[in-house]
Structure 1
Amino acid sequence: MITEIIIFLIIIYFAKTIYTEFLASGNPFSSSNQQEESIIEGKFTPKTLYKYNGKDHPKIFMAVKSRVYDVSQGSQFYGPGGPYENFAGRDASRGLALNSFDPAVLTPLDEPIDDLKDLKELEKESLESWDEHFENRYKIVGTLHENGTVNEEIKGL
Protein backbone atom coordinates (compact mmCIF):
# COMPACT_ATOMS: atom_id res chain seq x y z
CA MET A 1 0.00 0.00 0.00
CA ILE A 2 2.75 2.52 0.90
CA THR A 3 4.71 1.54 -2.20
CA GLU A 4 1.69 2.28 -4.38
CA ILE A 5 1.24 5.71 -2.77
CA ILE A 6 4.92 6.55 -3.30
CA ILE A 7 4.74 5.47 -6.97
CA PHE A 8 1.55 7.51 -7.41
CA LEU A 9 3.22 10.61 -5.90
CA ILE A 10 6.29 10.18 -8.13
CA ILE A 11 4.05 9.97 -11.22
CA ILE A 12 2.17 13.11 -10.13
CA TYR A 13 5.48 14.93 -9.52
CA PHE A 14 6.83 14.09 -13.00
CA ALA A 15 3.53 14.94 -14.69
CA LYS A 16 3.52 18.33 -12.95
CA THR A 17 7.16 18.96 -13.93
CA ILE A 18 6.52 18.11 -17.59
CA TYR A 19 3.39 20.29 -17.68
CA THR A 20 5.25 23.24 -16.09
CA GLU A 21 8.12 22.94 -18.59
CA PHE A 22 5.62 22.81 -21.45
CA LEU A 23 4.06 26.08 -20.33
CA ALA A 24 7.43 27.74 -19.82
CA SER A 25 8.67 26.70 -23.28
CA GLY A 26 6.31 28.95 -25.16
CA ASN A 27 2.93 27.27 -25.15
CA PRO A 28 0.99 29.06 -27.89
CA PHE A 29 -2.09 29.08 -25.67
CA SER A 30 -0.24 30.84 -22.86
CA SER A 31 -1.68 34.27 -22.01
CA SER A 32 1.79 35.83 -21.79
CA ASN A 33 2.48 35.05 -25.48
CA GLN A 34 -0.91 36.39 -26.53
CA GLN A 35 -0.27 39.55 -24.52
CA GLU A 36 3.14 40.09 -26.14
CA GLU A 37 1.66 39.76 -29.63
CA SER A 38 -1.00 42.36 -28.91
CA ILE A 39 1.57 44.80 -27.52
CA ILE A 40 3.86 44.84 -30.53
CA GLU A 41 1.54 45.19 -33.51
CA GLY A 42 -0.37 48.16 -34.79
CA LYS A 43 -0.19 51.89 -34.99
CA PHE A 44 2.72 53.86 -33.58
CA THR A 45 3.35 57.56 -33.14
CA PRO A 46 6.91 58.84 -32.84
CA LYS A 47 6.49 58.95 -29.05
CA THR A 48 5.04 55.42 -28.70
CA LEU A 49 7.68 54.03 -31.08
CA TYR A 50 10.51 55.52 -29.04
CA LYS A 51 10.13 53.07 -26.13
CA TYR A 52 11.18 50.22 -28.48
CA ASN A 53 14.77 51.47 -28.56
CA GLY A 54 16.45 48.45 -26.96
CA LYS A 55 17.04 50.34 -23.72
CA ASP A 56 13.53 50.98 -22.42
CA HIS A 57 12.09 47.76 -23.88
CA PRO A 58 13.79 44.55 -25.03
CA LYS A 59 12.24 44.81 -28.51
CA ILE A 60 13.87 47.12 -31.05
CA PHE A 61 11.66 48.74 -33.67
CA MET A 62 12.39 51.39 -36.25
CA ALA A 63 10.34 53.06 -38.96
CA VAL A 64 11.20 53.41 -42.63
CA LYS A 65 8.74 55.16 -44.94
CA SER A 66 5.91 54.93 -42.38
CA ARG A 67 6.34 51.17 -41.83
CA VAL A 68 7.57 49.96 -38.45
CA TYR A 69 9.95 47.00 -38.50
CA ASP A 70 10.98 44.71 -35.65
CA VAL A 71 14.77 44.80 -35.96
CA SER A 72 15.36 43.01 -32.64
CA GLN A 73 17.20 40.13 -34.35
CA GLY A 74 19.76 42.70 -35.55
CA SER A 75 20.35 44.07 -32.05
CA GLN A 76 24.12 44.10 -32.65
CA PHE A 77 23.45 46.81 -35.26
CA TYR A 78 20.40 48.63 -33.90
CA GLY A 79 20.67 48.04 -30.16
CA PRO A 80 22.68 49.97 -27.58
CA GLY A 81 26.29 50.30 -28.73
CA GLY A 82 25.50 49.31 -32.33
CA PRO A 83 26.40 51.51 -35.31
CA TYR A 84 22.71 52.25 -36.07
CA GLU A 85 21.58 52.67 -32.45
CA ASN A 86 20.42 56.26 -33.16
CA PHE A 87 17.66 54.80 -35.35
CA ALA A 88 16.25 52.42 -32.71
CA GLY A 89 12.77 53.46 -31.69
CA ARG A 90 12.75 56.22 -34.31
CA ASP A 91 11.81 57.07 -37.87
CA ALA A 92 15.10 56.36 -39.65
CA SER A 93 13.94 57.39 -43.14
CA ARG A 94 15.93 60.62 -43.52
CA GLY A 95 19.09 59.18 -42.00
CA LEU A 96 18.96 56.18 -44.32
CA ALA A 97 18.25 58.37 -47.36
CA LEU A 98 21.25 60.58 -46.53
CA ASN A 99 23.40 57.63 -45.40
CA SER A 100 23.97 59.56 -42.19
CA PHE A 101 24.03 58.32 -38.61
CA ASP A 102 24.17 61.84 -37.23
CA PRO A 103 21.45 62.32 -34.58
CA ALA A 104 20.74 65.73 -36.16
CA VAL A 105 18.97 64.00 -39.10
CA LEU A 106 16.32 62.58 -36.74
CA THR A 107 13.12 64.55 -36.32
CA PRO A 108 12.48 65.44 -32.67
CA LEU A 109 9.69 63.36 -31.13
CA ASP A 110 7.46 66.38 -30.49
CA GLU A 111 7.60 67.63 -34.10
CA PRO A 112 5.57 66.41 -37.10
CA ILE A 113 6.81 63.33 -38.94
CA ASP A 114 9.35 64.28 -41.61
CA ASP A 115 7.61 64.42 -45.02
CA LEU A 116 10.93 63.90 -46.86
CA LYS A 117 9.78 66.19 -49.69
CA ASP A 118 13.19 67.86 -50.02
CA LEU A 119 15.10 64.63 -50.80
CA LYS A 120 17.07 64.58 -54.03
CA GLU A 121 16.59 61.76 -56.52
CA LEU A 122 19.72 59.87 -55.38
CA GLU A 123 18.60 60.16 -51.76
CA LYS A 124 15.16 58.78 -52.67
CA GLU A 125 16.86 55.87 -54.44
CA SER A 126 19.00 55.23 -51.38
CA LEU A 127 15.93 55.25 -49.15
CA GLU A 128 14.12 52.88 -51.51
CA SER A 129 17.07 50.49 -51.39
CA TRP A 130 17.06 50.55 -47.59
CA ASP A 131 13.30 50.04 -47.56
CA GLU A 132 13.66 46.91 -49.69
CA HIS A 133 16.42 45.68 -47.38
CA PHE A 134 14.21 46.01 -44.31
CA GLU A 135 11.16 44.57 -46.05
CA ASN A 136 13.12 41.45 -47.07
CA ARG A 137 14.83 40.96 -43.71
CA TYR A 138 12.51 42.09 -40.89
CA LYS A 139 8.90 41.67 -39.89
CA ILE A 140 6.59 44.67 -40.25
CA VAL A 141 4.85 45.18 -36.90
CA GLY A 142 2.88 48.31 -37.65
CA THR A 143 2.78 51.73 -39.20
CA LEU A 144 3.96 55.14 -38.09
CA HIS A 145 1.15 57.65 -37.63
CA GLU A 146 0.76 61.22 -36.64
CA ASN A 147 -2.54 62.40 -35.18
CA GLY A 148 -4.13 59.06 -36.06
CA THR A 149 -3.23 59.02 -39.76
CA VAL A 150 -0.33 57.61 -41.72
CA ASN A 151 1.41 59.96 -44.15
CA GLU A 152 0.61 58.33 -47.52
CA GLU A 153 3.04 60.64 -49.34
CA ILE A 154 5.99 59.14 -47.46
CA LYS A 155 4.88 55.57 -48.21
CA GLY A 156 4.73 56.44 -51.91
CA LEU A 157 8.26 57.85 -52.18
Structure 2
Amino acid sequence: MPHQPHLEETQAISVFTPVNLLLLTLALYLIYTRLRPNPSPPPPLHSSSAAGQAIVFKTFTPKTLQPFNGTDNARVYLAVNRKVFDVTAGKGFYGPGGPYSNFAGRDASRGLALNSFDAEVLTEVGAPIDSLEDLKEDERVALNGWAEHFEGKYLLVGRLVEEGSEEAKEAEKEE
Protein backbone atom coordinates (compact mmCIF):
# COMPACT_ATOMS: atom_id res chain seq x y z
CA MET A 1 0.00 0.00 0.00
CA PRO A 2 1.47 3.29 -0.98
CA HIS A 3 2.45 5.74 1.68
CA GLN A 4 -0.23 8.37 2.32
CA PRO A 5 1.25 11.74 3.23
CA HIS A 6 0.07 13.26 6.45
CA LEU A 7 -1.93 16.44 6.35
CA GLU A 8 1.08 18.34 7.74
CA GLU A 9 3.30 17.29 4.86
CA THR A 10 0.87 18.52 2.18
CA GLN A 11 0.38 22.06 3.51
CA ALA A 12 3.27 24.46 3.14
CA ILE A 13 3.23 27.25 5.68
CA SER A 14 3.31 30.63 3.97
CA VAL A 15 4.51 33.80 5.68
CA PHE A 16 3.02 35.84 2.86
CA THR A 17 -0.52 35.92 4.13
CA PRO A 18 -2.58 39.07 3.61
CA VAL A 19 -2.42 39.90 7.32
CA ASN A 20 1.37 39.49 7.43
CA LEU A 21 1.82 41.62 4.30
CA LEU A 22 -0.36 44.33 5.81
CA LEU A 23 1.66 44.29 9.06
CA LEU A 24 4.95 44.38 7.13
CA THR A 25 3.74 47.35 5.08
CA LEU A 26 2.68 49.19 8.23
CA ALA A 27 6.01 48.48 9.93
CA LEU A 28 7.98 49.73 6.90
CA TYR A 29 5.86 52.89 6.72
CA LEU A 30 6.44 53.64 10.41
CA ILE A 31 10.19 53.11 10.05
CA TYR A 32 10.26 55.37 6.99
CA THR A 33 8.38 58.20 8.74
CA ARG A 34 10.72 58.04 11.74
CA LEU A 35 13.97 57.92 9.76
CA ARG A 36 13.28 60.16 6.77
CA PRO A 37 14.95 63.59 6.82
CA ASN A 38 12.72 66.45 7.83
CA PRO A 39 11.83 68.76 4.98
CA SER A 40 13.25 72.24 5.36
CA PRO A 41 10.74 74.58 6.98
CA PRO A 42 9.08 77.17 4.82
CA PRO A 43 10.46 80.69 5.15
CA PRO A 44 8.94 82.61 8.03
CA LEU A 45 5.80 84.50 7.15
CA HIS A 46 6.18 87.88 8.75
CA SER A 47 4.77 91.22 7.95
CA SER A 48 7.44 92.88 5.87
CA SER A 49 6.54 96.29 7.16
CA ALA A 50 6.05 97.81 10.54
CA ALA A 51 5.45 101.35 9.33
CA GLY A 52 4.36 100.67 5.76
CA GLN A 53 7.95 100.40 4.49
CA ALA A 54 9.54 97.37 2.87
CA ILE A 55 12.40 95.76 4.77
CA VAL A 56 15.64 95.72 2.78
CA PHE A 57 18.66 93.62 3.71
CA LYS A 58 21.36 96.02 4.81
CA THR A 59 24.62 96.37 6.64
CA PHE A 60 24.52 97.61 10.23
CA THR A 61 27.16 98.78 12.68
CA PRO A 62 26.51 98.71 16.42
CA LYS A 63 25.62 102.43 16.22
CA THR A 64 23.21 102.08 13.29
CA LEU A 65 21.58 99.04 14.92
CA GLN A 66 20.96 100.80 18.24
CA PRO A 67 17.89 102.83 17.12
CA PHE A 68 16.01 99.57 16.39
CA ASN A 69 15.29 99.03 20.07
CA GLY A 70 11.51 99.41 19.98
CA THR A 71 11.65 102.83 21.63
CA ASP A 72 13.43 104.95 19.04
CA ASN A 73 11.93 102.96 16.15
CA ALA A 74 8.76 100.90 15.73
CA ARG A 75 10.86 97.93 14.61
CA VAL A 76 12.94 95.83 16.97
CA TYR A 77 16.16 94.32 15.64
CA LEU A 78 18.90 92.39 17.35
CA ALA A 79 22.09 90.71 16.18
CA VAL A 80 23.23 87.14 16.79
CA ASN A 81 26.56 85.95 15.37
CA ARG A 82 26.72 89.13 13.26
CA LYS A 83 23.34 88.44 11.66
CA VAL A 84 20.62 91.03 12.26
CA PHE A 85 17.06 89.79 12.78
CA ASP A 86 13.77 91.67 12.81
CA VAL A 87 12.19 90.48 16.07
CA THR A 88 9.32 92.99 15.94
CA ALA A 89 6.86 90.08 15.92
CA GLY A 90 8.22 89.21 19.39
CA LYS A 91 8.12 92.79 20.67
CA GLY A 92 6.56 91.56 23.91
CA PHE A 93 9.83 89.74 24.61
CA TYR A 94 12.40 92.01 22.96
CA GLY A 95 10.75 95.42 23.07
CA PRO A 96 10.62 97.90 25.94
CA GLY A 97 9.65 96.22 29.21
CA GLY A 98 10.14 92.71 27.81
CA PRO A 99 12.38 90.14 29.49
CA TYR A 100 14.91 90.33 26.61
CA SER A 101 14.69 94.11 26.12
CA ASN A 102 18.43 94.52 26.89
CA PHE A 103 19.12 92.80 23.56
CA ALA A 104 16.97 95.14 21.44
CA GLY A 105 19.05 97.20 19.02
CA ARG A 106 22.20 95.39 20.15
CA ASP A 107 24.46 92.42 19.51
CA ALA A 108 22.89 89.85 21.80
CA SER A 109 25.42 87.09 21.10
CA ARG A 110 27.29 87.03 24.43
CA GLY A 111 24.13 87.37 26.52
CA LEU A 112 22.49 84.50 24.66
CA ALA A 113 25.62 82.33 24.89
CA LEU A 114 25.79 82.89 28.65
CA ASN A 115 22.01 82.71 29.08
CA SER A 116 22.26 86.05 30.82
CA PHE A 117 19.96 89.01 30.38
CA ASP A 118 22.21 91.34 32.36
CA ALA A 119 23.28 94.51 30.55
CA GLU A 120 26.84 94.00 31.86
CA VAL A 121 27.46 91.05 29.52
CA LEU A 122 26.67 93.12 26.42
CA THR A 123 29.35 95.03 24.54
CA GLU A 124 29.07 98.82 24.73
CA VAL A 125 27.68 100.30 21.50
CA GLY A 126 30.86 102.32 20.79
CA ALA A 127 33.21 99.38 21.44
CA PRO A 128 34.38 96.86 18.82
CA ILE A 129 32.05 93.92 18.17
CA ASP A 130 32.63 91.12 20.68
CA SER A 131 34.81 88.41 19.10
CA LEU A 132 33.39 85.77 21.47
CA GLU A 133 36.78 84.00 21.41
CA ASP A 134 36.69 83.22 25.12
CA LEU A 135 33.39 81.31 25.05
CA LYS A 136 33.49 77.76 26.40
CA GLU A 137 32.23 74.89 24.27
CA ASP A 138 28.86 74.65 26.05
CA GLU A 139 28.40 78.42 25.64
CA ARG A 140 29.12 78.13 21.90
CA VAL A 141 26.57 75.32 21.67
CA ALA A 142 24.01 77.51 23.46
CA LEU A 143 24.75 80.43 21.12
CA ASN A 144 24.41 78.24 18.04
CA GLY A 145 21.08 76.95 19.36
CA TRP A 146 19.85 80.52 19.74
CA ALA A 147 21.11 81.39 16.25
CA GLU A 148 19.11 78.48 14.80
CA HIS A 149 16.07 79.63 16.76
CA PHE A 150 16.26 83.14 15.30
CA GLU A 151 16.96 81.85 11.78
CA GLY A 152 13.88 79.65 11.93
CA LYS A 153 11.54 82.18 13.50
CA TYR A 154 12.50 85.70 12.47
CA LEU A 155 13.33 87.53 9.28
CA LEU A 156 17.03 88.10 8.58
CA VAL A 157 17.33 91.79 7.69
CA GLY A 158 21.05 92.43 7.66
CA ARG A 159 24.53 91.81 8.91
CA LEU A 160 26.52 93.46 11.69
CA VAL A 161 29.97 94.88 10.85
CA GLU A 162 32.57 96.95 12.67
CA GLU A 163 32.39 100.74 12.72
CA GLY A 164 34.81 102.14 10.15
CA SER A 165 35.21 98.83 8.30
CA GLU A 166 35.12 98.71 4.50
CA GLU A 167 31.65 97.10 4.67
CA ALA A 168 30.40 99.95 6.87
CA LYS A 169 31.86 102.56 4.51
CA GLU A 170 30.20 100.86 1.52
CA ALA A 171 26.88 100.80 3.37
CA GLU A 172 27.15 104.52 4.13
CA LYS A 173 27.73 105.25 0.43
CA GLU A 174 24.61 103.28 -0.55
CA GLU A 175 22.34 105.22 1.83
1:23-62 deviation per Cα after TM superposition (whole angstroms, max 9, x unaligned): xxxxxxxxx85xx226x53000000000000000000000
Contact 2:59 2:167 in 1 (8 A): no
1:93-128 deviation per Cα after TM superposition (whole angstroms, max 9, x unaligned): 000000000000110011100000000000000000
Could you say which structure has the higher helix fraction? Answer: 1
Of the three residues 55, 62, 67, the one matched with 2:71 is 55
Alignment partners' CA distance in 1, 2:128 and 2:71? 24
**Deviation beyond 4 Å, 4+ runs, structure 1:** none
- For structure 1, list consecutive stretches of 5 or more residues without a partner in the other structure: 1-31, 151-157
Alignment partners' CA distance in 2, 1:144 and 1:74? 20
Alignment partners' CA distance in 2, 1:50 and 1:69? 13
Q: Which residue of structure 2 aligns with residue 81 of structure 1? A: 97
Q: Which residue of structure 2 aligns with residue 97 of structure 1? A: 113
Alignment partners' CA distance in 2, 1:110 and 1:87? 15
1:138 paired with 2:154, answer: yes
Shift of 1:74: 0.1
Alignment partners' CA distance in 2, 1:44 and 1:114? 15
Q: Which residue of structure 1 aligns with residue 14 of structure 2? A: none
- 1:106 partner amino acid: L
- For structure 2, list consecutive stretches of 5 or more residues without a partner in the other structure: 1-50, 169-175
Of the three residues 38, 59, 72, the one matched with 1:43 is 59
Of the three residues 60, 64, 67, the one matched with 2:80 is 64
Shift of 1:142: 0.3
1:106 paired with 2:148, answer: no
Q: Percent sequence identity over matched residues?
A: 54
Q: Which residue of structure 1 aligns with residue 142 of structure 2? A: 126
Coordinate RMSD, CA, aligned: 1.5
Secondary structure of the corresponding residue to residue 54 of structure 2 = helix
- 1:148 partner amino acid: E
The structure having more radius of gyration, on CA atoms, is 2
Q: Which residue of structure 1 aligns with residue 166 of structure 2? A: 148
Secondary structure of the corresponding residue to residue 54 of structure 1 = coil
Alignment partners' CA distance in 2, 1:72 and 1:81? 14
- 1:96 partner amino acid: L
Q: How many residues are paired up? A: 116
Alignment partners' CA distance in 2, 1:66 and 1:148? 15
- 2:138 partner amino acid: L
Shift of 1:148: 3.5
